[in-house]
């Protein structure tokens, strides 16, 4: 890690000793050192400059180190303060540490050296905080709805308005729409624009978790709760504490667990599997499904009381076929991103290719469009994508295709097959690109829905 810049204030009335500490610290050219002969002199200077680290002499001419410590803590609660004193009394050191001192050094021959190493440690911690703050800002920008959700159609403008409203509060959000419309992206956009943006966003695909493990995955378990539970496990609800828990494909939750989820949401506390003590949690809940939950309730597959508990603010993600010219905007965006990520020269679509995209219905929605564009970028010769590079073929039997009876599963299989073809049957890579489990692809191969050529 490169040496971070650091501003250090030295409060020391012994001019010689102050110079000694300053000389040692300034051996690092990235450190800026200010020296003060009294506590009040330092406190006045705070109006014009804020330090990253303070060293404080315990015995000062204008006030005790303890008094100055209290004033510094009130104004700079996060800045580390190292007390440097001639007193070797352990009780004094303990008292200063209780009042918020970062460390306590007795004035000895190696004190300057110890200060040097402490300053390095503080600098590393500061660099990590700055890096984390920068990463949080970048993540927030990435999931800024105006940046992450591409489109100018009326449907997308309505969606962005709802996302903005949802971000203002902690209301439960229920996202619905066809597979591939971007429900998780919308959930992230809400989270990263909300007051919880600096806390975890935990996404769980309920359909991807084995039924006998889902309760443990959601709520956690205690050591010895069942065979194989060799230690306590914190579940997704606790992992999302302070942030957002996104439950995708919520309609796949079985009725027994629906009842437990309802209780957890009502009581705002959970019980780990094998546990005896309720665990409170504070997580905003967002759910998503491609099914009609109202119909699921009518068919008896989803609890009505849980349905109303989860409904909150309903947001429907529009299918790509209802977004007009957004399709070409998205295609250009996906093409540019793919070229940049793979260090390829920037490509563009021919007019004939653009027309071919517009004439296709994209039953797999945005996810299918992304897959088609990325495959086209791989197949293209030169800097132009032509119609022959766009694999919009169906994977249906001829009679099903003729009758328009393409099922959702067949749509997904078509997307997976095209990626397998483009990436020489690399299952792990395709699973990563499509953000699905590799076990899903293996199962599709076993069921002869796709094949590795």
pLDDT in tens, 263-302: 999 999 999 999 888 899 899 999 999 888 999 999 999 9
Residue 103, strand partner residues? 82
Q: What is the mean pLDDT of residues 222-237?
A: 85
- Looking at residue 407, what is its pLDDT? 60
Q: What is the mean pLDDT of residues 393-411?
A: 51
Comparing CA positions, the residue from 426, 310, 438, 327 lying closest to residue 372 is: 327
What is the Cα–Cα distance from 143 to 185, expressed in whole angstroms? 8
> C-alpha dihedral over 74, 80, 81, 82, to 10 degrees?
160
User: Range with the lowest mean pLDDT among 53-62, 222-231, 250-259, 303-312?
Assistant: 222-231
DSSP string covering 238-257, please? HHTTTSEEEEETGGGS-HHH
Contacts with 70 (C-beta within 8 Å, 6 or more apart), sequence order: 99
Comparing CA positions, the residue from 15, 23, 14 lying closest to residue 58 is: 14
User: Could you tell me if 181 and 318 are in contact, meaning their C-beta atoms sit under 8 angstroms apart?
Assistant: yes
User: Could you tell me if 273 and 159 are in contact, meaning their C-beta atoms sit under 8 angstroms apart?
Assistant: no
Q: Is the pLDDT of residue 396 over 50?
A: no
Contacts with 160 (C-beta within 8 Å, 6 or more apart), sequence order: 145, 146, 149
For residue 387, the 8-state DSSP code is G
User: Could you tell me if 222 and 272 are in contact, meaning their C-beta atoms sit under 8 angstroms apart?
Assistant: yes
- Looking at residue 42, what is its pLDDT? 92
Q: What is the mean pLDDT of residues 48-73?
A: 87
What is the Cα–Cα distance from 453 to 412, expressed in whole angstroms? 18
pLDDT in tens, 162-209: 999 999 999 999 999 998 899 999 999 999 889 998 899 999 999 888
C-alpha to C-alpha distances, 52 to 4, 33, 68, 105, 241, nearest whole angstrom: 11, 10, 17, 18, 30
User: Range with the lowest mean pLDDT among 220-224, 260-264, 372-376, 448-452?
Assistant: 448-452
Work out the angle between the directed axes of helices 351-359 and 326-341 (0-180°, nearest 10): 120
Q: Is the pLDDT of residue 436 over 60?
A: yes
Q: What mean pLDDT is reported for the chain?
A: 86
- Looking at residue 395, what is its pLDDT? 40
Q: What is the mean pLDDT of residues 346-358?
A: 94
pLDDT top residue among 283 and 422: 283
Query: The whole model's pTM is what?
Result: 0.59
Q: How confident is the model at residue 137 (pLDDT cuts 50, 70, 90)?
A: low
Q: How confident is the model at residue 229 (pLDDT cuts 50, 70, 90)?
A: confident
Q: Is the pLDDT of residue 138 over 60?
A: no
- Looking at residue 309, what is its pLDDT? 93
CA angle 369, 375, 380 (to 5 degrees): 120
- Mode of pairing for the β-strands spanning 279-280 and 6-11: unpaired
Helices vs strands, H then E, count in the chain: 20, 14
pLDDT top residue among 135 and 423: 423
User: Could you tell me if 375 and 392 are in contact, meaning their C-beta atoms sit under 8 angstroms apart?
Assistant: no
User: Range with the lowest mean pLDDT among 85-89, 144-148, 165-169, 383-387?
Assistant: 144-148
Q: How confident is the model at residue 147 (pLDDT cuts 50, 70, 90)?
A: low
User: What proportion of the chain, given as a percentage, has pLDDT over 70?
Assistant: 92
């Amino acid at each position: 890690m490169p040496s971070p810049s650091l501003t250090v204030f030295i409060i020391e009335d012994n001019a010689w000793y102050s110079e000694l500490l300053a000389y040692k610290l300034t051996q690092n050219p990235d450190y800026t050192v200010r020296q003060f002969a009294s506590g009040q002199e330092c406190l006045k200077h705070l109006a014009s400059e804020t330090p990253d680290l303070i060293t404080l002499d315990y015995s000062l001419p204008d006030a005790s180190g303890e008094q100055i410590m209290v004033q510094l803590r009130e104004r700079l609660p996060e800045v580390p303060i190292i007390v440097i004193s001639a007193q070797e009394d352990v009780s004094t050191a303990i008292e200063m540490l209780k009042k918020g001192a970062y460390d306590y050094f007795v004035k000895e021959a190696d004190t300057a050296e110890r200060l040097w190493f402490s300053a390095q440690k503080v600098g590393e911690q500061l660099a990590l905080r700055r890096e984390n703050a920068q990463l949080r800002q970048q993540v927030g920008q990435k999931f800024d709805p105006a940046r992450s959700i591409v489109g100018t159609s009326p449907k997308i403008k309505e969606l962005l308005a709802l996302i903005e409203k949802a971000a203002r509060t902690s209301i439960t959000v229920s996202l619905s729409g066809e597979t591939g419309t971007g429900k998780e992206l919308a959930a992230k956009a809400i989270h990263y624009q909300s007051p919880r943006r600096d806390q975890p966003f935990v996404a769980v695909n309920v359909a991807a978790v084995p039924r006998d493990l889902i309760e443990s995955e959601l709520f956690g378990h205690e050591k010895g709760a069942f065979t194989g539970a060799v230690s306590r496990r914190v579940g997704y609800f606790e992992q999302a504490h302070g942030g957002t828990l996104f439950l995708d494909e919520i309609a796949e939750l079985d009725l027994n667990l629906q009842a437990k989820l309802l209780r957890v949401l009502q009581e705002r506390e959970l019980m780990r599997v094998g546990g005896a003590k309720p665990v409170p949690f504070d997580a905003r809940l967002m759910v998503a499904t491609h099914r009609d939950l109202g119909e699921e309730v009518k068919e008896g597959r989803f609890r009505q009381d849980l349905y109303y508990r989860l409904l909150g603010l309903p947001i429907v993600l529009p299918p790509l076929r209802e977004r007009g010219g957004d399709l070409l905007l998205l295609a250009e965006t996906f093409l540019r991103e793919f070229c940049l990520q793979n260090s390829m020269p920037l490509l563009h679509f021919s007019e004939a290719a653009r027309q071919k995209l517009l004439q296709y219905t994209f039953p797999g929605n945005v996810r299918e469009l992304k897959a088609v564009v990325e495959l086209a970028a791989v197949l293209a010769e030169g800097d132009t994508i032509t119609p022959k590079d766009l694999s919009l073929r169906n994977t249906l039997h001829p009679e099903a295709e003729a009758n328009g009876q393409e099922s959702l599963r067949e749509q997904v299989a078509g997307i997976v097959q095209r990626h397998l073809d483009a990436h020489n049957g690399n299952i792990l890579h395709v699973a990563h690109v499509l953000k699905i489990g590799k076990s899903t692809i293996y199962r599709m191969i076993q069921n002869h829905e796709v094949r590795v050529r």
